[in-house]
Structure 1
Amino acid sequence: MKPSAFEYRSPTTLAEAVSLLQSGNGNAKVISGGQSLMPMMAFRLAVPELLVDLKHIPDLNMIRIEDDGVHLGAKVRWCDIASDQRLAKAHPLLAEAITHVAHYQVRNRGTVGGSLAHADPSAEMPGVALTCEARLTIVGGAGTRIEKASAFFTAALQTTLEPDEILTEVHLPAWPAARRWAFKEFARRKGDFAMAGVALFYDLDDDRRVVNTHIGAIGISDCPIRLGAAEAALNGSVVDDQVIAAVAAAARSEIDPPSDIHAPAAYRRALVGTLLARGLQQSIGQ
């Protein structure tokens, strides 16, 4: 199929882009990499009357590494992250997660902001943002606001973005050098969306006991989610095989994944436990 007719504009400032979105009266869409929006338009699952392209707006493709963490502009592409060797140290969880994103062609065009705004529940970047307590900068007709990732995703393919708002920056908090982490996902074929995935990190106190556990999951709900019971089971422990088994069991017990053409709920539940156990086992050796 082909997209329905639409108007195309390419502003040079954020203010102009916001004004164009306001003029669309809810029938305008932002486009950057277009790796999600264009297929949806081709199948007429999305029928915007106006596309507002961000490609000529400066300063949205920066990667800054500062004392408070990593700052990613909304137009940063997956290939930009992969080629920035600083991120392997500054945020290894992010660097690992994006290696699972789709295929080379998509990674060469797809953007951080586009993935977050699209909010596919199986996508890697929303899972990383939620797990790492990212803060999102959003610009719109009412001004600039900062949104926590935990509040941003509201349902499958839905966020708190208003029709005249643009996500401009993602801030991932600073990453201690000694932090333990892992990212694991499983898809039927490499590059497919994950049937389930797990992102995790934790720190160790002076007694080598786990503190500050963060465990997120993708592909098992209509939004990325934190696994609170699994986090509680890991906090305060010394990680060993017995603890790993208990944490995996806690994760399986607390989730209620869907069944669909790709996998039944029981399979996804077991998969989350397996991925989490493998991730924790990997983290021990870091």
Structure 2
Amino acid sequence: MHVTAVPETVQPRHLIVTVYGLYARETGGWMSVARIISLLADLNVDEPAVRSSISRLKRRGMLEPVRKSVAGYQLSTEAEAILREGDHRIFQRDRATLADGWLLAVFSVPESERYKRHLLRTQLTRLGFGTTTPGVWIAPANLRDTTEDMLRRLDLARYADLFHSDHLAFGDLRTKIRLWWDLDQLERLYEDFVRAHSRRRPRTDREAFADYVRLLTDWRRLPYLDPGLPKEVLPPRWIGIRAADTFFTLQAQLAERAKRHAVMTS
């Protein structure tokens, strides 16, 4: 699986999803438009960009308009499911081990349902699967539950088979991992993340909020590109481990201060 570098400028809609994931679900998944605009202003996103991004998220089925004395938007059922799945991936620190084995996904989709084939490939890529050969996808076995949930939720289970396997022979597994995942590109993305966030020193809760939302927004794509591959098959001194240390250290420092600011913003 080859990944594409993400531009340095984060799209406002990604920031909005992060804000909803952090601060809306505790109160039923709803947030007023005024509060969204105010919180995004702390991230230097202007009102027209916020409104445009909300409309885009609405078209994509992530947000639904719900009025509660004032205009606001509610997370959709699908968005809630995506965020719940993301919680485990984003905040899960433990990596897989070789003893866990591997999860193989094999699928067959009729030509008349090519859109389902595209959806399957997109979702397996999003979960961090690599490809061994066309039609055979591989990931650490600890992604089994997440993969099963995705296949059932999107009504794709009837097209796929999942297998729990071990690599018995032949060839060097480290070499093969580099064929199945683009570790060079992952390393560059991790380096960018560490460089962007390792020197953050917010002085106020407002700055802590802005730093934490950007930290989490930048981090949450990385556990999907790197599905927690076992240390035994990674290069020595793998920077992904340092990047994880950076994220979890900053999360511990920023989360409560950021929440305090978000709660005070109406």
TM-score by length of 2: 0.25
Q: Where is the helix percentage greater, Structure 1 or Structure 2?
A: 2
Structure that is richer in strand per residue = 1
